[in-house]
Amino acid sequence: MRSAGFPCRLAGCERAFQVADQSSMDALKAASAARTAHEIADHGYHHVRLEEERPASPYLRARPKDAPAR
């Protein structure tokens, strides 16, 4: 069973990498880096980040191309 933390992204692998200090950004980055190192060393897996979509918000409406900027 997986425990809290960053789980390995490969299906079937049960490893998870703990964030030592929940209030520390450095601890979060270290756990993420440890997971990435494990995935590369043990599985030869390189994660490819998906293109991010802009959040849907009524305040981010697209303005017509011919409309003047505010």
Question: Residue 45's closest CA among 12, 21, 10?
Answer: 10
What is the value of pTM for the model shown?
Answer: 0.63
Domain that holds residue 29: 1-45
| CB contact at 8 A, 47 and 9 | yes
| CB contact at 8 A, 46 and 40 | yes
Residue 66 lies in a domain: no
Residue 53 lies in a domain: no
Residue 40 lies in a domain: yes
Residue 5 lies in a domain: yes
pLDDT of residue 1: 36
What are the residues facing 16 on neighbouring strands?
7
Residue 3 lies in a domain: yes
Total number of domains constituting the chain: 1
For residue 6, the tally of other CB atoms under 10 A from its CB is 19
pLDDT beyond 90 at 15: yes
Provide mean pLDDT across the span 2-11.
80
pLDDT of residue 2: 45
Over the stretch 18-70, which tens digit does the pLDDT of each residue have? 998 989 999 999 999 999 999 999 999 998 888 877 767 766 666 666 666 66
Residue 62 lies in a domain: no
Residue 59 lies in a domain: no
**Neighbour-count burial for 25-41, b at 16+ CB within 10 Å, e otherwise:** eeeeebbeeebbebbee
